[in-house]
Amino acid sequence: MLNGKMFQLIKLLNQQHHPLTSGMLAQQLKLSPRTCKRYIAELIPLMEEHGACILSDKTGYHLEVRDALLFEAFLREKTKVFEFSENSGELQFEILKNLLVHSTLSQNEMIDQLYISRSTLNKLMIEVKATLKENGIQLANRPYYGYYIAGNEIDIRNFMVKTLFVTASFLSAEPELLASMPFSLSQSTSQICQILKEEGIPPEEDLVHYCLKYLMVSLCRIHNGALIHLSIPHLSETLQPTVQRAASAILNLFCDQVLIRDEERLYFASIIGNRTQALQSEVLDSAVWLKELVEDMLNNILNLCKVDFRSDEALKKALMTHLYASFSRYYLKATLPNPLISLIKSQYVEAYNYSLIGCEMLKEKHQLAINDDDLGYIALHFAAALEKERPTILCRTIIVCGSGMGTSELIRLRLSRNIPQLAIQAVLASYELLDTPTLSADFIITTVPLSMTEIQLPAVLISPMVTASDIQKVEFMINNYTSLQYLRSLFRSELFFPDIPGNNKDEALNHLTDSMVMTGLISEAFATAIKEREAMSSTEITEKVAIPHCFLSVPIDTMLAVGILKEPVAWGTAHVQLVFVGIINPAVKKNKCVFPMIYRLIQDSDKVQRLIQQTQADDFLRILFESIETEL
């Protein structure tokens, strides 16, 4: 079972670009080399399940990421769960886990389990109590029985799901919770899938894992005598009968029916939500409140961003279907993990902001605050709507070969077949290029190096065999060259701020926006808009980089500022030291590329570290763009 030291080992291997021996790992983790080797043996199958592989040779161990999205999701979920453990110590985390799983826990039981003194336990309990309080849960003490947790049962179960599972998979449950389960986890998956199928609910993997996590937590609480109380009017009327039948069947299968109250059945049905396979259009048509909610969301986006989605019937239906399926879960504040959230917040910034602004109506009309994971799912619908508006790019190009003969026709055919948006103007030998000035093109595709001092067009160097990598190079040029040029134009040397002080995110952002105002390029109103947007949802996109920004509908030139913090600060789930601040005019279509392109440019951790060390704007920009320009 994964523990804090093992997670630190994974992070060490991930951060290093050279192999580490067991001795090096042992020194940094304060473990013995033998323990490190044992941990690595346990981690190898776990990493393979989550998109990475631990490899070894004579020089040591190194981590190879094979599925970046899957591995990033693993790190994100694991960081959330072990946040308490890493910040406050593993002893406190052990106490917390046991308190969540057991109905009561005496001081003597904890002392025996942890091999600590009573005075040490009392100090640890202060930290545990503070953590529980931050999550709306009380730590209580009953004479002769011991400590127990109290509070809103819905909040307690949500906190248990967040804390007692290492990843998005139910199989990653902490051993304390697994020990309390009266059934086999391997068999339970197929049984739940069968029940969902019978009721016309798609047995999607994420839904099954999510249901099992809440099922395990609910059974644990039921057996501990905890009762769920739902003070949500008309909740049963909003849930389809098929969903309620599926929830009851699952509970009946895994729990003594005598213990299952109607509210418990309704709670679990709300966790599943209205995710039926074929949602009848008349169901949505009859939900007047849902139509009004979606209209309010789109009107809010129009008022604040001057972007009108109201005539997009496909988007409206998609939003209604999504909200109808998820509404009961929103009321319970139950989080469905979104493995793509980091990608969505960095690659689809505009869509994510529309989701954020639209969902303000959920807070205003229904007092529901939506978390980042669910905002990300809703953002995907806006991303799809925006994608439909994107025009097909037709790029003119000239192909240059060593001789203009032989392989030239093969190159032309392979490029035309694989890249239909490529308009090939001519195929020339390199010596013919300078003698053909009348041909117009956006860029050149060449199999031989060209003198760029004589030719003003950008060029992509490819192999005469036109490999898959070459196709990617050309596609990148078509899709991103103009965007790169535009992005570079947004940076201004007077908006480059190294050595920004601050002990936390708010202090650092205040110093940075104050510096921007002092340049005279932005007003206090813009600085306030940036901070208000950040307060709505944190903007970290990698472990060290954040993109605080605001989208303004008033006429303004889009601009980017760069802030390098003196020290990393906690920024959402990351520790950020490099900050790109954007003031974006959404009416300018080219601005859609800004944040996705920044995300592409900062994927290399070594490059980010070099950027953080820069003190001059020109050097910063040279490093920021160098890998892309070299690639092209």
Token pair for residue 193? 């899938």
Would you give the distance in Å from CA 480 to the centre of its chain? Answer: 23
CA gap 266, 270 in Å, rounded: 6
Q: Are 577 and 565 in contact (CB under 8 A)?
A: yes
- Give the three-state DSSP class for 566: strand
Which residue type sits at 539? T
- Give the three-state DSSP class for 563: strand
DSSP alpha helix (H) spans, 181-312: 185-198, 205-223, 235-238, 241-254, 262-272, 281-286, 288-305
Q: Are 359 and 371 in contact (CB under 8 A)?
A: no
At which residue do the structure tokens 């947790």 appear? 149
Can you give the residue ranges of every domain in the chain? Answer: 4-66, 86-272, 281-389, 395-466, 487-631
**Quick one: three-class SS letters along 438-486?**
CCCCCEEEECCCCCCCCCCCCEEECCCCCCHHHHHHHHHHHHHHHHHHH
CA gap 132, 139 in Å, rounded: 7
Angle at 201 between CA 340 and CA 194, to 5 degrees: 105
Provide the pLDDT for residue 631. 45
Return the CATH number of the domain spanning residue range 395-466.
3.40.50
Tell me the CB-side half-sphere exposure of residue 495, using CA atoms within 13 A. Answer: 20
Cα torsion 437, 440, 442, 443 to 10°: value is: -40
CA gap 407, 447 in Å, rounded: 10
- Taking CB atoms within 8 Å and a gap of at least 24, the contacts of 40-43 are 40/9, 42/6, 43/2, 43/6, 43/9, 43/10
CA gap 591, 489 in Å, rounded: 12
Provide the pLDDT for residue 80. 57
Pairing between strand 137-142 and 146-151? Answer: antiparallel
Which residue type sits at 105? L
How many contiguous H segments (helices) and E segments (strands) does the chain have? 30, 13
Mean pLDDT by 10 residues, the chain (632 residues): 80 81 82 86 88 87 84 74 53 88 91 86 90 92 90 94 77 76 76 91 86 91 89 77 92 76 92 76 78 94 88 92 91 84 82 93 89 92 83 76 65 85 83 68 82 66 84 79 80 92 93 91 88 90 89 76 93 90 81 83 85 93 68 45
Which helix (H) or strand (E) element contains residue 436? none
CATH class for domain 487-631? alpha beta
| Backbone phi and psi for residue 53, each to the nearest 5 degrees, phi listed first | -145, 130
CA gap 295, 315 in Å, rounded: 11
Q: Are 250 and 215 in contact (CB under 8 A)?
A: yes
Provide the pLDDT for residue 467. 85
Provide the pLDDT for residue 152. 94
**Fold of the CATH domain 4-66:** Arc Repressor Mutant, subunit A (1.10.10)
DSSP letters, 99-114, are HHHSS-B-HHHHHHHH
Provide the pLDDT for residue 20. 87
CA gap 426, 349 in Å, rounded: 38
DSSP letters, 113-174, are HHT--HHHHHHHHHHHHHHHHHTTEEEEEETTTEEEEEE-HHHHHHHHHHHSBSSSSGGGB-
Residues making up the chain, counted from first to last: 632
Provide the pLDDT for residue 485. 77
Provide the pLDDT for residue 403. 56
**Fold of the CATH domain 281-389:** PTS-regulatory domain, PRD (1.10.1790)
Q: Is 538 exposed, middle or buried (0-12, 13-18, 19+ CB in 10 A)?
A: middle
Q: Are 428 and 378 in contact (CB under 8 A)?
A: no
CA gap 434, 159 in Å, rounded: 68
DSSP letters, 489-513, are HHEEEEEEEEEE--SSHHHHHHHHH
Helices 4-15 and 22-29, axial angle in degrees (round to 10): 120
DSSP letters, 338-396, are -TTHHHHHHH-HHHHHHHHHHTHHHHHHH--PPPHHHHHHHHHHHHHHHHHHPPPP-EE
CA gap 109, 145 in Å, rounded: 11
Q: Measure Cα distances from 159 to 88, 95, 221, 247 in Å.
A: 17, 15, 12, 21
Pairing between strand 574-584 and 559-571? Answer: antiparallel
